Amino acid sequence: MSDDEKLVPFDRGKREPDPARVAEFTATARKLQQEREGAAGVAARLLGATPYAEWPRLAEREELRNSGALDELSREVASRVDRVPLESLAIAELATKIADSLAADAYPVVVLAQIRAQAWKDRGLAFCYLARHSDALAAFDRAEQFLQPFGTLAHDRAIVRLARATTLQEANRYDESIALLAECKEIFEDHGDTRRQILCGIAEGTLLHRMSRFGEAREAYKAQLPTAEKVNDLIALASIHNNIGHSSTELGDWQTAEAHLNKAIAILTELGQPLRVAGSELARGRMFVRKGDIERGIEHLHSVREQYLTHNLVEEAGLCGLDIVEAHLARGASIEAEAFAWQIVREFTAARLNARAITALGYLSEAIGARKASAETVQNVRHFIRSLRKKPDAEFVATA
């Protein structure tokens, strides 16, 4: 016996994995990787080449019936959910149809549960953006049902619950939302998922903001800054600075608001995200108006409006224009306000936007002409136009 063999190694208690399990892991890894590579661009191409009404039939296409393609569909859902939530929902419905019909032995059961839960989570998110809150919550329930048997999927479950917490906020169920966010934050922390941990913090701040607890909201956002800086998550940093700017504006702390909005703008500019830059610039313009620096605010809002028009975002430009109308009314310049309101009507008409939005804008223009409009009237019209994204058939109710 050699000397080496006499030694009792300290790691002799080390467990060797079952070769069959290693083989299953390797085969699954290989399969998922191949599907991901094979699915690159497939979903976008098929969706682009197929009329919207025929999207459900894409569920039969073999090239979409795998994990990689479903991930692609998930990205399509996320990228459209804010701009065109109806399309987003249609894609999410397609994804759930495919995921639910995958063969039971197509993947290990854990992976299959993850795939199906992801599809249902996306569907819930799309419903949420369409203000169909009970449908969204039902979709999240379904997603959690898939994950429920697997203790190893706590992270996936937390992702679904984060989406649920957001929906609960939208449905004004704040207490339930805040409890869920706290739970999710802990799970993300346990898994070292700093990015989502920050998202939970931002969502908590948003919740407090919605409850008009602006000081606490600002503190919640500020608490996320060191972590976001540490992991150099620039998108999160920009988001946090932007939101601190909003809360500070509500608190009348103009200096802080401007400083943080400037930081958000600088980061987003560096990241090359012009539309988000415009969003923060819009907030800065409004801040100037609220501060009483109306001329500067109007000038600023005009430049933001130009940005939106450059990108052919007529609706966003129109909504920004309503801020200008409101600012004109605030300084008693009704003639300018009326002229500008009619200009927005013409732009909406030319762009063939929702006729109900045009009706609301026409009402506003006439009310200004009749010297019956106030800041509240403008806000009411703005709120209505925004609500049309979720409920395109909503009827405009005129208020003073």
Partner 1 sequence: MNTYLRIVVLWPQIQFGPMTFVTTQLHDDQQFEVVYTGYFDLLVQIAVHKFRVPDSEAETLAHDVLISYLRKGNDVISLRSWLIGAICHASRHYWRLNGRTIGAEPDMALDRADPASMRILDSLPDQLAAREAMDCLNPRCREILHMRYFEGCTVIEIAERLGVKPKYAQKLISRCLRRAETLYGEKGKSQ
- Residues within window 314-353 making contact with partner 1, judged by CB under 8 A: 319, 323
Site string for partner 1, 366-385 (x = CB under 8 A): -------------x--xx--
By the 10 Å C-beta count (0-12 exposed, 13-18 middle, 19+ buried), 175 is classed as exposed
Whether residue 300 contacts residue 285, with contact meaning beta carbons closer than 8 Å, is answered with yes
Q: Can you tell me which of 41, 51, 192, 332 binds partner 1, judged by CB under 8 A?
A: 192
Site stretch for partner 1 (CB under 8 A), options 49-57, 197-205, 330-338, 339-347: 197-205
Residue of 69, 91, 94, 118 interacting with partner 1 (CB under 8 A): 118
Which residues neighbour 31 within 8 Å (Cβ) at sequence distance 6 or greater? 67, 107
Phi/psi for 256 (5° steps) reads -65, -45
Q: Site for partner 1 (CB under 8 A): which residue of 87, 93, 122, 347?
A: 122
Q: Which of 69, 90, 168, 169 binds partner 1 (CB under 8 A)?
A: 169
Q: Which is nearer to partner 1, 365 or 380 (CB)?
A: 380
CB of 60 to partner 1, least distance (A): 23
User: By CB under 8 A, is residue 13 in contact with partner 1?
Assistant: yes
* Angle value at C-alpha 163, between 162 and 164, nearest 5 degrees: 90
Least distance in Å: CB of 342 to partner 1?
Answer: 21
Q: How far is CA 101 from CA 59, 73, 106, 320, in A?
A: 9, 16, 10, 45
Q: Which of 286, 305, 328, 356 binds partner 1 (CB under 8 A)?
A: 286
Examine residue 11 and tell whether it contacts partner 1 (CB under 8 A).
yes
Q: Is 42 in the site for partner 1 (CB under 8 A)?
A: no
Task: Using the Cα atoms of residue 376, residue 379, residue 385 and residue 390 in order, give the sign of their dihedral.
Answer: negative
* Ramachandran angles phi, psi of 373, nearest 5°: -95, 150
**In terms of CB distance, is 170 or 369 closer to partner 1?**
170
Stretch that binds partner 1, among 5-13, 84-92, 98-106, 306-314 (CB under 8 A): 5-13
Binding of partner 1 by 399 (CB under 8 A) = no
Pick the piece of the chain touching partner 1 (CB under 8 A) from 45-53, 254-262, 277-285, 338-346: 277-285
Q: Does 302 bind partner 1 (CB under 8 A)?
A: no
H or E stretch covering 229: helix 214-230
Among 45, 57, 195, 391, binds partner 1 (CB under 8 A): 195
Whose Cβ is closer to partner 1: residue 74's or residue 307's? 74
- For partner 1, the binding residue among 46, 69, 74, 315 (CB under 8 A) is 74
# binding residues, partner 1 (CB under 8 A): 94
Question: Site residues for partner 1, window 93-112 (CB under 8 A)?
Answer: 108, 110-111
CA gap 47, 84 in Å, rounded: 14
H or E segment at 31? helix 19-39
Integer-rounded Cα radius of gyration of the chain = 25
Give least dist CB 283 to partner 1, A. Answer: 7
Question: Site for partner 1 (CB under 8 A): which residue of 137, 139, 180, 202?
Answer: 202
Place of tokens 């919550």: 137
| Plot region of 373 (φ>0 → left; ψ -120 to 50 → alpha; else → beta) | beta
N- to C-terminal Cα separation, the chain: 99
Residue 96 or residue 249: which is nearer to partner 1 going by CB? 249
Cβ nearer to partner 1, comparing 34 with 57: 34
**Binds partner 1 by CB under 8 A, chosen from 96, 248, 249, 307:** 249
Scanning residues 19 to 38, which ones bind partner 1 (CB under 8 A)?
21-22, 24-26, 28-30, 32-33, 35-36
Is residue 129 within 8 A of residue 166, CB to CB? The reply is no
AA letter at 312? N
Q: Give yes or no for residue 78 binding partner 1 (CB under 8 A).
A: yes
Among the listed residues 193, 253, 258, 315, the single contact to partner 1 using CB under 8 A? 193
Nearer to partner 1, 110 or 369 (CB): 110
Verify binding: residue 75, partner 1, rule CB under 8 A: yes
In angstroms, rounded to a whole number, what is the distance separating the alpha carbons of residues 341 and 335?
Answer: 10
Residue 356 contacts residue 394 (beta carbons within 8 Å): yes
Q: With contact defined as beta carbons under 8 Å apart, do 125 and 136 qualify?
A: yes
CB under 8 Å to 25, separation ≥6 — which residues? none
